[in-house]
Amino acid sequence: GFSPVDIGRTKCKDMTGNKRQRKERKEQRQLKHYRSPLKLSWATLGYHYDWTARTYTEDAKSPMPIQLQRLSENLARLVTQSDQRKGGFVASAAIANYYHTKQVMGGHRDDLEFDFTKPVISISLGLPAIFLLGGKTRDEPPTAVLARPGDVMFLAGESRLAYHGMARIITSAEDAPSAASSEDIRAMWIGAWPHSGNAQGAGNIIPNSEREAVRAYLSNHRININIRQVLPDDVERITDDMKPPLS
């Protein structure tokens, strides 16, 4: 049998093991997982923007969805012909903002990328909203723009560093002009997703149950996806000595 010393050692090992397990369970409880999209505020893709430090870093990034890359490159090709001669548009970061009907977005600038010749591409889904586009200072009065579902806006040229924000959501109970249909934009959405066969069957890779869940969510929420190119065309990674042009 065990001697008193052996029994003591066994108890100490058990207590250490139990303490470690309790700590692990506590840490797991402290992790916050979104159980419902209703609680989402934003999600970052590609390079993750550090909201506290106001910077991008090479060690904080996730894969950029190929669908968003293809879609944004197609959109940029339509609007910014001059960029094609400089390598086109490379989607390397995106922020998806999720809005319920009471949420707004304060005035701000997207001024931490390393190449301001590349646009910020903003895609609106769900409920329409009032978008405010200002000037290069907070003192300049903004212009109100109706952002409808399916609308795409570019912050480029003079507006690339303009202050902008989102004033309010227009609920389904309010009247707002409907979005203009565009077969060109629809074709780009379909072409962005990998599929086999003709374009008519392209959307069938998404289960109907998920389509219904998305449709229900967008009936009383807004999603804005803004896509940007973080680095200049000839730079492959962020280094410690790199600073945005306005730093």
Instruction: Report the pLDDT value the prediction gives residue 84, as an integer from 0 to 100.
Output: 46
pLDDT at 10: 40
Could you list the mean pLDDT of each consecutive 10-residue stretch along the chain, which spans 247 residues? Answer: 39 51 60 62 90 87 91 84 63 94 92 93 93 95 93 92 95 75 52 44 62 86 94 91 82
Cβ neighbour number for residue 26 with a 10 Å cutoff:
9
Residue 34: per-residue pLDDT: 58
* Strand extents, DSSP E, the chain: 42-46, 93-99, 105-108, 120-126, 129-133, 143-147, 152-155, 164-169, 222-228
pLDDT in tens, 152-164: 999 999 999 999 9
The answer to whether 140 and 109 are in contact (CB under 8 A) is no
Q: Which tokens belong to 153?
A: 């806006």
Q: What is the pLDDT of residue 187?
A: 53
CA distance 124 to 139: 27
φ/ψ (deg, to 5) at 184? -65, -45
Query: Residue 128 in contact with residue 221, Cβ under 8 Å?
Result: no
Residues with Cβ within 8 Å of 34's Cβ and at least 6 positions away in sequence, in order, are 40
| pTM to 2 decimal places | 0.74
Q: Which residues contact 213 (CB under 8 A, 6 or more apart)?
A: none
Where would I find the H helices in 80-150?
81-84
